[in-house]
Amino acid sequence: MAIQLKMPALSPTMEEGTLAKWFVKEGDEVSSGDILAEIETDKATMEFEAVDEGVITKILIAAGTDEVAVGTVIAEMAGEDEEASPAADAEAASASQDEAEAEPANEADPDIMNVAPPAPISRADDPSVPAGTELVSITVREALRDAMAEEMRKDGTIFVMGEEVAEYQGAYKVTQGLFEEFGPKRVIDTPITEHGFAGIGAGAAMGGLKPVVEFMTFNFAMQAIDQIINSAAKTNYMSGGQMRCPIVFRGPNGAASRVGAQHSQNYAPWYAAVPGLIVIAPYDAADAKGLLKAAIQSPDPVVFLENELLYGRAFEIPQIDDYTLPIGKARIMREGSDVTIVSYSIGVGMALEAADTLAGEGIEVEVIDLRTLRPLDTETVLKSLSKTNRMVVAEEGWPVCSIASEIIALCMEQGFDDLDAPVTRVTNEDVPLPYAANLEKAALIDVPRIIAAVQKVCYK
């Protein structure tokens, strides 16, 4: 039985090529690895090697022939072994390729057109706080520390690693006390090597541990972003669900105060763009605690974006054991009927302040804190839009390709009929953050800008 030699595809995109030269003639014996022919494409010249042993019986395409389609039979050979399983194999291959060719390439496949992402599931509400529960005032910094400590007490596979997290107690003191309580095995100072320890953290997670990796700030996580996206976020998918990466990457994000362009940046839209990640950016202490606990418990990789300017701010938090909040659920911070402000992280505080001022002008503002940026709670946003019919997105970050952009697209696609005014975004200016005090102030989002935007969409 003859083995058919077919014009090979030499690259992912090759469709045809020139059969430049034959190195064998009919009757030649060849063995595996011998060069049979030279094939040219527009990109390269490559040698075509024999895979099987045998004798070349026929050369069907002459040297010098142009535009030979991939898959064309260019020669035949007789196998050395007359069981000729390779021939049967080649035929099987050719059969399945014919099938593939039979499908018209450019027509839309109705099945593929019908593929849609799964509908968002109904998300759990925050746990109800029983009447009479004591409220205690703690800072966001303490809330984050308590979340880690509580989870670490429950599960010995959780450890914290990062620069200055142990003996120094954290560059921003978020890990204060953890080293004393859990010791050097579980609270680990790393060298200044973000790329390396993000990878080590991801590897440890793949190996069955639950790392909490602190970046001193997310600006430095750019050194490590390959490991966050290519390793942590994609592995579960690429492995067909076999290999998990339950890790939390956390640290301060966004502009701090007068630290210049390289240390002042909001990465929320970067990470929120990546399927396979969960992205959380809380505003107050209760959410910081409840969501960090949920992040640590999650079997998925989480990017947890904090804000340096909020660390020292105190909020009331219900005194409940194991206070854990649902990931993916936005929170209505203030109810209102005239207009909705959507925000997250530090922007929520500004939105609430703006709402107070606007209430004095007779505008009742609903304020939504997204809290989780991926997956986004589109249900809560759209429901509020259907109530108020006007929306402003307030974001401490750049305007282009932002979370605000995403919310606006959502309203266009799914809330268009509810809109009484264009959705407007209030963001930082579209520049690297300047150092000079007046320029920095001019570049950053503030309450008056949010108020002005709300007035505008209310046509006031």
Query: Closer to other proteins at the Cβ: 202 or 365?
Result: 202
Q: What is the x/- site pattern for other proteins, positions 228-257, by CB under 8 A?
A: --xx---xxxxxxxxxx-x-----------
Tell me the closest approach of the beta carbon of residue 22 to other proteins, in angstroms: 16
Query: Closer to other proteins at the Cβ: 14 or 309?
Result: 14
Query: Closer to other proteins at the Cβ: 246 or 282?
Result: 246
Radius of gyration of the chain (CA): 30
Tell me the CB-side half-sphere exposure of residue 99, using CA atoms within 13 A: 5
With helix as H, strand as E and coil as C, how does 281-329 read? CCCCHHHHHHHHHHHHHCCCCEEEEECHHHCCCEEEEECCCCCCCCCCC
Task: Give the span between the Cα atoms of 90 and 68, in whole angstroms.
Answer: 19
197: contact with other proteins by CB under 8 A: yes
* Residue 121 in tokens: 């599931």
Task: Give the span between the Cα atoms of 208 and 231, in whole angstroms.
Answer: 15
Query: Closer to other proteins at the Cβ: 76 or 396?
Result: 76
198: contact with other proteins by CB under 8 A: yes
Task: Give the span between the Cα atoms of 347 and 450, in whole angstroms.
Answer: 10
Answer for which of 2, 200, 256, 309 binds other proteins (CB under 8 A) is: 200
Q: What is the x/- site pattern for other proteins, positions 288-307, by CB under 8 A?
A: ----------xxx-------
Answer for which of 193, 262, 319, 386 binds other proteins (CB under 8 A) is: 193
Annotated catalytic, 263?
A: yes
Annotated catalytic, 194?
A: yes
Query: Closer to other proteins at the Cβ: 161 or 339?
Result: 161
Task: Return the residues of window 110-169 that contact other proteins according to CB under 8 A.
Answer: 111-112, 114-115, 117-118, 121, 123, 157, 159
Strand, helix or coil at 448?
Answer: helix
The DSSP secondary-structure symbol of 265 reads B
Task: Give the span between the Cα atoms of 392 and 342, in whole angstroms.
Answer: 6
Cβ pair 14, 70 in contact under 8 A? yes
Q: Tell me, by CB under 8 A, how many residues bind other proteins.
A: 88
Task: Give the span between the Cα atoms of 377 and 439, in whole angstroms.
Answer: 35
Q: What is the x/- site pattern for other proteins, positions 89-118, by CB under 8 A?
A: xx-xxx-xx--x----------xx-xx-xx
Task: Return the residues of window 334-363 that contact other proteins according to CB under 8 A.
Answer: none
